[in-house]
Structure 1
Amino acid sequence: MLKKMFQLYDYSIVVTVLLLGLFGVVMVYSSSMVIAVSHYEYDANFFFIKQRMWFILSSMVFFITMILPYRIYFKLFKIIAMGSIGMLILVYLVGHTANNAQSWIAIGGFRLQPGEFVKIGVIIYLAAIFSKKQKYIDDFGTAVIPPLVFTIIIFTLVFFQPDLGTAVLIAMIAVIMTLSSGMNMKNVMKLLGLGALALVILIPSAGKLLSDEQLSRFGAAYDPFADPQDSGMQLINSYIAIAEGGITGLGLGNSVQKTGFLPESHTDFIMAIISEELGIFGVGFVILCLSYIVLKGFMLARKCDDSFGSLLAIGISAMIGVQACVNLGALTGLLPVTGVPLPFVSYGGSSMLALMASTGILVNISMFNNYRKQKLSLDEIAA
């Protein structure tokens, strides 16, 4: 029985995720060696060793969530929702501040970013609550307002850390999942109206809600040369890295921008270094892998015969896809820099752990969906 279930896994997703993670470990080493030498007692392996450790740990979590039946999260969704709010409150009480944001919890020598795990919590909660309310999904007050309130609470707690990037990601994931919940067009229009009203109220207050640094990022995204030595420096050097890489790149390890010109070269802007060193082939490999995972997830959601599993697959796929788009948009100047890492590739243990765990859930949904369909086919033949 167990052997048969293992034959039903979609190993193409497994291989793609592991290849992307391994590629990320290599590129973190290449993009961080200079900054590691200059900041961490001449140890060029500092970031590489940490990222390798997180990759191994995340791979273990990936295989655990791949095997663990995804329906268990439906039973625990209330605990997960309360735990998500609790983690964010804990950040305010004992959080560690880094890069002007109190978004971390320090445990021993490690730092975890609860916001990365809260994204999964929001996905599980929304998938569970919408699947429970399918019979009356068109009742706006009962089916839509409770998850909307929960999302607003989470968004607010993350936004005021301040972590604008994660807050925006959570909002976009929630919007995609809500629109995919099966509600009628009347409720969709009500939600769009509420969203427009919120923007009308919040946009005039942006100067008070956002810090000077956050506001400067909006200007730098669309006119980086107005302040090339400060707010526009990252984007300008990202452009240079992309232009220098061309089609074939300068070769692995040969980036010039990582030698002190491009800040955060191993985190938010790692794709610029990939472009510089490996050219369009390296960039294409990452985009194809990410696109494959996202498209497989959405295809699974469409084929899944369980509303909870379908919404869970939509949420996980949306998280990976939106996060990749926001990251790539920032390094190309299409979007402001918000500190959002490139999925599976950028340096960061919390992001890697959360993404691997969620993708393992996606693989598990695929396996159970295949199992149910195969069992149904055998029953039909027997009949």
Structure 2
Amino acid sequence: MVVKVKNKNVDMWLLLAVICLSLLGVLMIYSASYVWAEYKFDDPFKYAKNQLLFFMIGLIVMYIVSKINYNFYFNNANLFLLICVILLILVLIPGIGTIRNGSRSWFGIGSFGIQPSEFTKLALIIFTSKYLSKNLKDIKDIKKGVLPIIVLTLFIFGLVMLQPDFGTGTIIVMSVMGLLFISGVKLSFFMKIGLVGIIGVVGLIIAAPYRVARIISFLNPWSDPLGSGFQIIQSLFAIGPGGLFGFGLGNSRQKHFYLPEPQTDFIFSIISEEFGFLGIIIVATLFLIIFIRGFTIAYKCKDLFSKFLVSGIIFGLAFQTLLNLMVVVGLIPVTGVTLPFLSYGGSSLLITLISMGIILNISRYQK
């Protein structure tokens, strides 16, 4: 499946949007975290410096990845997924995996941490893209064509849920569902899967008291304003007063120990508070450029594997962005999902930039 290069330049609109969002993320992480960072570490630049380091590393890795022919991922898809599954199992072992924010989903390296579930998201997309490109003729046969990838996805979802990390698990499942949808799987299949999924989610919620608390706080955050509803209330307090232009960079009130760890899941609230509706429009525009350019590249791909691979990456990115924004404005319960490019997190930023590097490489091989 080797193809000749027709376009030697990467997609510049995609590249510029990725760099702009990432740099905005570093800036906003500093603005959102300097009060807490100075209190906790006596260094207001602590989180911003860490994120800037990962951005610089990620930028170098993205450049290298953009030079690697995407056939490399086709040839090594099985190996990548196997390594990630092994890491998902190892991270569950006490003494190897470390617990952060209630989830045993990290390998601790000093003050840094590596989250294998982030890398698994990409590895499963690569594997599924290869599987679909080789078995597309069987995709109408649910048992022969679809069931194997569903079983594999549920197995990986189960490993992620043992950490537990419901947000990442949801993104993994939705990314695969997106790929199955564009591959031509019948709509009736998704209706059945959706019904089973709803039953499963209800079961997972009932099985874990903290998830029940999140549902209650979602339905009525004021029922426990100092407990389970605190985070979403403070998020809305940040978004509401922002107005058209916001209070200005660095002038957020909610980051002063009201909104917990605002540099992570709820960084969009701080962006809204400091830059108002204008900031929301800028962020939304940059994300839309990435999504539109991504799907345009997928549409122009010359082979099925690259078409599925780009689509899967963009599906995953879009689902993650949508989940985060819906949490921030109170449309769904808190999931722990970060906002791509903008939220603090080395593993998330690194794997996102690697994913963008893959798409940039594929953009060289368009029709």
CA distance in 1, matches of 2:203, 2:352: 35
Write the letter of the residue equivalent to 2:59: S
CA distance in 1, matches of 2:21, 2:205: 37
CA distance in 2, matches of 1:64, 1:300: 19
- Preserved CA contact (<8 Å) 1:291 1:321: no
**Partner residue, 1:156:** 158
2:130 is the alignment partner of 1:128: yes
Following superposition, the deviation at residue 204 of structure 1 comes to 4.8
In structure 1, the gaps of 5 or more residues are: 374-383
Write the letter of the residue equivalent to 1:53: L
2:243 is the alignment partner of 1:246: yes
Match of 1:311 among 304, 308, 311: 308
2:22 is the alignment partner of 1:21: yes
Q: 1:241 to 1:146 in 2, by over 3 A?
A: same
Following superposition, the deviation at residue 182 of structure 1 comes to 2.8
CA distance in 1, matches of 2:200, 2:236: 35
**Superposition map of 1:126-205 within 5 A:** 126-183=128-185, 185=186, 188-200=187-199, 203-204=202-203
**Which of these two proteins has the greater Rg computed from alpha carbons?**
1
- Preserved CA contact (<8 Å) 1:222 1:334: no
Secondary structure at 1:102's aligned position in 2? strand
Secondary structure at 1:258's aligned position in 2? coil
2:99 is the alignment partner of 1:102: no
Secondary structure at 2:91's aligned position in 1? helix
- Preserved CA contact (<8 Å) 1:295 1:317: no
2:328 is the alignment partner of 1:327: no
- Preserved CA contact (<8 Å) 1:89 1:157: yes
2:297 is the alignment partner of 1:296: no
**Partner residue, 2:117:** 115
CA distance in 2, matches of 1:254, 1:63: 35
CA distance in 2, matches of 1:249, 1:337: 25
Write the letter of the residue equivalent to 1:25: V
TM-score, normalised to structure 2, is 0.94
**Partner residue, 2:84:** 84
- The Cα offsets for residues 259-296 of structure 1, whole Å up to 9 and x where unpaired, read as 10001210000010011111111121111111110121
Secondary structure at 1:147's aligned position in 2? helix
Match of 2:274 among 274, 277, 283: 277
- The Cα offsets for residues 195-245 of structure 1, whole Å up to 9 and x where unpaired, read as 42354466356312xx22222111212211111111111111111111121
- Preserved CA contact (<8 Å) 2:301 2:365: no
- Preserved CA contact (<8 Å) 2:13 2:289: no
**Partner residue, 1:10:** 11
2:283 is the alignment partner of 1:286: yes
In structure 2, the gaps of 5 or more residues are: none
Write the letter of the residue equivalent to 2:335: T
CA distance in 2, matches of 1:300, 1:58: 22
The percent identity for this pair of structures is: 37
Following superposition, the deviation at residue 146 of structure 1 comes to 1.3
CA distance in 2, matches of 1:131, 1:242: 44
Write the letter of the residue equivalent to 1:285: I
